[in-house]
Amino acid sequence: MDAFTTYTGVAVPLKRSAVDTDQIIPAVYLKRVTKTGFEDALFAHLRQDPAFVLNDPVYAQGSILFAGPDFGTGSSREHAVWALRDSGFRAVFAPRFGDIFRGNSGKQGLLTGVLSEEVIATCWAAIEADPGAAATVDLQAGTVTLSGETYPFEIDAYTRWRLLEGLDDIGLTLRDESRITQFEQGREAWRPQTLPVRER
Amino acid sequence: MSETAPAPQAPRRAGARTLAEKVWADHLVKRGEDGAPDLVYIDLHLLHEVTSPQAFDGLRAEGRPVRRPDLTIATEDHNTPTIDIDKPIADITSRTQIETLRRNAEEFGIRLHSLGDVEQGIVHIVGPQLGLTMPGITVVCGDSHTSTHGAFGAMAFGIGTSEVEHVLATQTLPLKPFKTMAITVEGALKPGVTAKDVILAVIAKIGTNGGQGHVLEYRGSAIRALSMEGRMTICNMSIEAGARAGMVAPDQTTFDYLEGRPHAPKGADWDAAVAYWRTLPSDEGAVFDAEVLLDADELEPFVTWGTNPGQGTTLAGEVPDPAAIADPQLRDSAQRALEYMDLTPGTRLKDIKVDAVFMGSCTNSRVEDLRAFASIVKGRRKADHVRVMVVPGSARVRLEAEAEGLDKIFTDFGAEWRFAGCSMCLGMNPDQLAPGERCASTSNRNFEGRQGKGGRTHLVSPLVAAATAIRGTLSSPSDVEAEALV
């Protein structure tokens, strides 16, 4: 997982509230056996509407989403984060998020920042006044800048630290690898082995 | 709903620990500080084709190896067909999942027992059968019924796909300690009453979320009297009470089952292991967060009437009237369940006619279960209108059963004798109920559509399944005997 410090990309106004994980990625895409390659599944049903924002070519390279309240509620599927990540999104801003989605995002390197409904509305207006405009996220400072205005967003300290360090759950655990190795050296010989014992 | 009481039975003794606490403590790589989870070492990681593909894909994306292939083993079970196992799998999703597991096992150096292999079978049957499951170890698998392995005094629990990836990469899991609950079953089970009836009664008593966040420790004279197979049946369904895991303290029954199995410790290792295992049972005066008591003498054959494993009652009883249930949420749930199950309050359970009997699943497909089923159906014919499927838990169970001639008893009875796998427990392969079909099943979940879209499931023991297959209506073995005397 790459560390997240500052990032600049095309801002996308998703002017909807309660975009749940079923809308982010419909259940039919959950049968796959991969953890990547879900870009075709992102908002698959919403995309059937020609007027859907991501069908506008100006947002084709979009990577920072400004959404309405309650983004990512519903089913716990991690695929929702994978679909956003595979489509190039690095950050989502909304007034409220589904808890499980927000937890999953932090683990996969997708930044989820809380902005008030007023700020989101201001951002939507700014993007629509200048479609294709870039936004810049500065995680160290905890701000997002759009059309010359800088807004502070909320993110919990632990997730912020993990994103800045680029640590997924496994990366976090592997910081303690020497302790794991030490524990392994003390394991008793009677414990189960599925393969012939390796030389250590 | 829960009838659990916080008061411990024995006086609290400083330093006294439960079985679960001992196993946890002996696997701590790092104690979590300031609310962070503990880092817990995993001794044995079991894999199957459904929940592992994305875990391996995640490793590949990050360029990470499997840390301990020698503590990891895979088998094909959820999707495998139980007939024509030499032919290609028709369903494309099933085939893709199995082929993906084969590729991943090859690439990452994981031992895999494929369809057709003598050690292939349901992952929770294979671990104990090989002697890999043993007391005092931690076992995980991307499958909720991993709780089965707790019968040996292991800490065994199901995990999600991200956690599967985490264990593959690090052989550890960050976890918050579980709470403990003692389920004490004292007395002696009546003839015809089995481990399955005990666990169905436990779940009916504490509810499908009564065990949430807890490790259940089953104890008391009735549990100690059970075989390892019976203990596995009970621990298997701990998850149906919402618990993270179920455990039984290891004793001579456990050691006798394990000794001489292919992966059981040998020689001095065996002696060292047994000496350690004898220290594991909960100390006198250890405090559980909750306790539940059941009287074994009072238990009867049990059956579910609804669409969750907590909606059950004694087989001699009637379909309950939802109107009599005080809790509004439970009442609504019972009402919906009866509509789905097409049952009327007040109907005698023994008057309910079934279309199918499924004898199998990780709950009840070991050779002892097949023997129990055979003991009732031997020399008899199934009811004409009932389809009976007997699915052994593993290829080795199938061979063992055939060596004893059980297969002949089943086929003479009119049952289908199948190859090993999860089969109709969850219908990921073609073994499914048709819409509206009613099944007496030795499996673990009676959820809507679990055994096939629109299918209706009554959870029962192997003995009740056998008697039901003979009479065509939900029946106990004593009903079959009574009929034979007429």
Chain B CB contacts of A81 below 8 Å = none
Judge: A198–B269 Cβ closer than 8 Å, yes or no: no
Nearest-CA distance A184 → chain B (Å): 9
Residue B486 binned pLDDT confidence (cut-offs 50, 70, 90): low
Q: B258 near B152, Cβ under 8 Å?
A: yes
- Residue A189, helix vs strand vs coil: coil
Shortest alpha-carbon distance between residue B265 and chain A (Å): 5
Distance, CA of B306 to CA of B325 (rounded, Å): 14
Closest Cα of chain A to B67: distance in Å?
10
Q: With beta carbons less than 8 A apart as the criterion, state whether A148 and A129 touch.
A: no
Of A99, A56, A106, residue with least CA distance to A84: A106
User: Is residue B1 predicted with pLDDT exceeding 50?
Assistant: no
On the question of pLDDT at B3 being above 50, the answer is no
Contact across the interface for A190 and B272, Cβ inside 8 Å: yes
**Interatomic CA distance for residues B417 and B402, integer angstroms:** 10
Q: Closest to B39 (Cβ–Cβ): which among A35, A173, A187?
A: A173
Predicted TM-score (pTM) of the model is 0.90
Closest Cα in chain A to B273: A190
Helix (H, G, I), strand (E, B) or coil at B359: strand
8 A C-beta contact, residue B410 and residue B380: no
Angle between helices B395-403 and B123-130 (to 10 degrees): 70
Tell me: the pLDDT tens digits for A14-56?
999 999 999 999 988 887 889 889 999 999 999 999 999 999 9
B30 touches chain A (CB under 8 A): yes
At B325, list the tokens.
């249930």
The answer to whether the CB atoms of A170 and B62 lie below 8 A apart is yes
Smallest CA–CA distance, residue A158 to chain B, in Å, is 11
- For residues B421 and B124, give the distance between their C-alpha atoms in angstroms, rounded to a whole number: 11
- Decide if the complex's ipTM is over 0.90: yes
pLDDT of residue B168: 98
pLDDT at B6: 46
| Spatial CB neighbours of A148, under 8 Å, sequence gap ≥ 6 | none
Predicted confidence band of residue B433 (pLDDT cuts 50, 70, 90) = very high
Q: Is the CB of B265 less than 8 angstroms away from the CB of A190? A: yes
Which of A109, A11, A102, A82 is closest to A53 using CA atoms?
A11
**Contact assessment for residue B450 and residue B457, using Cβ atoms and an 8 Å cutoff:** yes
Helix segments in B173-220, DSSP class H: 195-206
Average pLDDT over residues B54-81: 96
Distance CA A66, CA A94 (A): 6
Interstrand relation of B38-41 and B72-75 (parallel, antiparallel or unpaired) = unpaired
**3-class DSSP state of B192:** coil
Inter-chain CB proximity B39 and A198 less than 8 Å: no
Q: Which residues of B touch A199 (CB under 8 A)?
A: none
Nearest to B469 by CA among B372, B328, B393, B395: B372
Q: Give me the half-sphere count of Cα atoms (radius 13 Å) on the Cβ side of residue B221.
A: 7
CA distance B153 to B276: 12
- Residues belonging to chain A with any Cβ–Cβ distance to chain B shorter than 8 Å: 1, 31, 33-36, 78, 107, 168-170, 172-174, 176-177, 179-180, 183-184, 187-198
- What is each CA distance from A44 to A25, A83, A86, B422, in whole angstroms? 7, 10, 14, 33
3-state secondary structure of A35: coil
Using a CB-CB cut-off of 8 Å, the residues of chain B touching A180 are 29, 39, 41, 67, 170-172
**Cβ pair B316, B464 in contact under 8 A:** no
Between positions 403 and 442 of B, the ones with CB within 8 A of A are none
Q: How many Å apart are CA A137 and CA A149, to the nearest integer?
A: 12
Q: Report d(CA B398, CA B394) in Å as an integer.
A: 6
> Is residue B11 very low, low, confident or very high in pLDDT (cuts 50, 70, 90)?
low
Kindly report the backbone phi and psi dihedral angles of residue B59, in degrees, each rounded to the nearest multiple of 5, phi listed first.
Answer: -60, -45
Confidence at residue A30, expressed as pLDDT on a 0 to 100 scale: 84
How close is the nearest chain A Cα to the Cα of B56, in Å? Answer: 9
The residues pairing with B38 across neighbouring beta strands, listed in sequence order, are: B175
CA–CA gap between residue B315 and residue A160 (Å, rounded): 56
Contacts of A49-58 with C-beta under 8 Å, sequence gap 24+, read: A53/A12, A53/A13, A53/A14, A53/A15, A54/A12, A56/A131, A58/A131, A58/A132
pLDDT digits (tens, 9 = 90+) for B260-313: 999 999 999 999 999 999 999 999 999 999 999 999 999 999 999 999 999 999
Asked if A173 and B172 come within 8 Å (Cβ–Cβ), the reply is yes
Across the interface, whether the CB atoms of A179 and B39 are under 8 A apart is answered: yes
d(CA B410, CA A78): 44
As a whole number, mean pLDDT of residues B8-32 equals 87
- Binning pLDDT at 50, 70 and 90, where does residue B10 land? low
- Check CB contact of B170 with chain A, cutoff 8 Å: yes
Tell the residue number behind the tokens 């009836």, with chain if given.
Answer: B197
Residue ranges in chain A modelled with pLDDT below 50: 197-200
pLDDT number for residue A170: 94
Q: Using an 8 Å Cβ cutoff, are B51 and B78 in contact?
A: no
Asked if residue B8 has pLDDT above 60, the reply is no
Q: What is the dihedral of CA B139, B141, B144, B150, to 10 degrees?
A: -20
DSSP code for B429: S
Q: What mean pLDDT do residues B199-207 have?
A: 96
Closest listed residue to residue B473, CA positions, set B406, B384, B395, B390: B384
DSSP A80: H
In what side-by-side order are the strands of the sheet with B179-186? Answer: B245-247, B214-219, B179-186, B290-295
- A 10 A CB-CB count for B367 gives 23
Q: How far is A22 from chain B (nearest CA, A)?
A: 19
**Which among A36, A168, A180 is the nearest to B57, CB-wise?**
A36
Kindly determine whether residue B57 and residue A190, on different chains, have CB atoms separated by under 8 Å. Answer: no
Per CB-CB distance under 8 Å, the chain A contacts of B155 are none
d(CA B377, CA B394) in angstroms, rounded, equals: 21
Q: What distance lies between CA A187 and its chain's CA centroid?
A: 38
What is the distance between the alpha carbons of residues B40 and B23, in angstroms, rounded to a whole number? 10
Mutation test of the interface with chain A: which of B23, B28, B51, B70, choosing the one with the most A Cβ atoms within 10 A?
Answer: B70
CB-nearest to B165 from A34, A170, A180 is: A170
Tell me whether residues B29 and A170 touch, CB distance under 8 A. no
Which residue from B minimizes the CA distance to A28? B93
